[in-house]
Structure 1
């Protein structure tokens, strides 16, 4: 990512020349996107843009005489570096899909946790896939097909995905300590009034006594199924404020 930003920010003149070159070359993008660490979703966009214009960018860098330009040119002409780029384009694309689901408006735990759990299963698929047919690595697959010798580096990508798996598993394991609360949220009608969820409540934000009364009221209604938008409805927040807050 630093290399992308260096290419862009080396000088205003170089940036203007780059944009002009890309436009004249009818490249798929007329600019190289910078990466902002604060905006996580920009990582995949920056990488995919670089990947799409790598041929045009390589030609442009040949006209640069600075040390930075030479280093960037070396990177673009390195089979290993470009293989790594292709892999990151693919894996960051999958991560972006997850991030977009988590950042959608009006989402609750019921919506977001299953998406994270589903991605942990997808990582198992990606781990096998990157060592085989690479059906889920569209950028990497043709690159390795052209150079069979690059298949050696799939071990690096396997280790990367395994580390990602470990990170996700560590994060999901934290939810185990709240499994009774999760069950309460999903099926409050069948929850015990003094169930194990009581000991897991965040007492600073939820009042146990009021929540128990709300459960009694909920059990007395004809609500048989908790829909995904149940906790977002104004009527729910008004009638069951503690449960909605939880």
Structure 2
């Protein structure tokens, strides 16, 4: 599978997770949350974002009790980071699993839910076993589920009847709510640079966007995301992204 196809499949899988989350009553979903990585301690330039953060969500999962016995527990999470990983070929996606685990241990969210989909069973032998074992012994910092198990978990917790077939790739719900950077992704670097040169207003939007993004990450680095004071930065970034994408299609 090409790198572009892998990215498209990954985004489509994110859309399914997002569509499920939006069906859960009382759960707030935030996209693209910056968070500290284990690499952040070594470089202030290293920036990482989480696909989703769900607030006020209940899950049932396996963990260990104080005596080290495996138990099934239901817990309400005020803040739950959600990592989505889709793998259709024997690529390198599963080589990133240890990073997901390490980041979960230092996350400012109460826990991280790792949701994966492996339709052709191409995840390397031992990779999932590694993640399930680490999750079990993480002190409820990491939870691992495949997509079907996640969907079944949500259905049971909230008395819903969500069916996997309803969440087709590229769902309209995801497209309607996702930040408007998708149009930028369709432009090559050369085409984008050409746009910057031809359209002065687009260049101004982009310069302002970079400044705002830098301020946003600096704020997160100092204060984290426990307070909602970062929301004005997100709103401004969305406005600037919209300005950029509106400029691009008008070029000849």
Which TM-score band applies after superposition, normalised by the shorter structure? Answer: under 0.3
**Larger gyration radius, structure 1 or structure 2:** 1
Q: Flag the structure with higher strand content.
A: 2
Q: TM-score, normalised by structure 1?
A: 0.23
| Greater helix share, structure number | 1
| TM-score normalised over the length of structure 2 | 0.23
Structure ranking higher on relative contact order (CA contacts 8 Å, 6+ apart): 2
